[in-house]
């Protein structure tokens, strides 16, 4: 009986918690945010730029979490 629940649980995890489903969730949030009038620290969500690192992470343009925090949450570069 326990083996049956374990097997069902593992199957559920493999089917539900995938990178594809994670990406779909992010896309849904982005779509909802971009349609809303919500702001983050007074900034228009639609005017956030994508840092070059995320467009081409192999270009050796290193970025730290502190720098990302400053860019996206504190309004600085």
Distance CA 36, CA 25 (A): 17
Secondary structure letter of residue 18 according to DSSP: -
What mean pLDDT, rounded, does the chain reach? 78
Give the C-alpha separation, 51 to 34, whole Å: 18
Task: State phi, psi for 8 to the nearest 5 degrees.
Answer: -65, -40
Tell me: the pLDDT tens digits for 32-64?
A: 777 766 555 555 656 667 777 777 777 666 788
Model-level pTM? 0.42
């Amino acid at each position: 009986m326990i083996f049956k629940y374990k097997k069902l649980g593992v199957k559920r995890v493999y089917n539900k918690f995938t990178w594809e489903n994670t990406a779909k969730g992010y896309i849904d949030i982005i779509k909802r945010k971009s349609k809303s009038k919500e702001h983050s620290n007074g900034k228009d969500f639609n005017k956030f730029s994508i840092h070059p690192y995320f467009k081409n992470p192999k270009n050796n343009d290193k970025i730290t979490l502190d720098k990302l925090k400053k860019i996206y949450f504190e309004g600085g570069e």
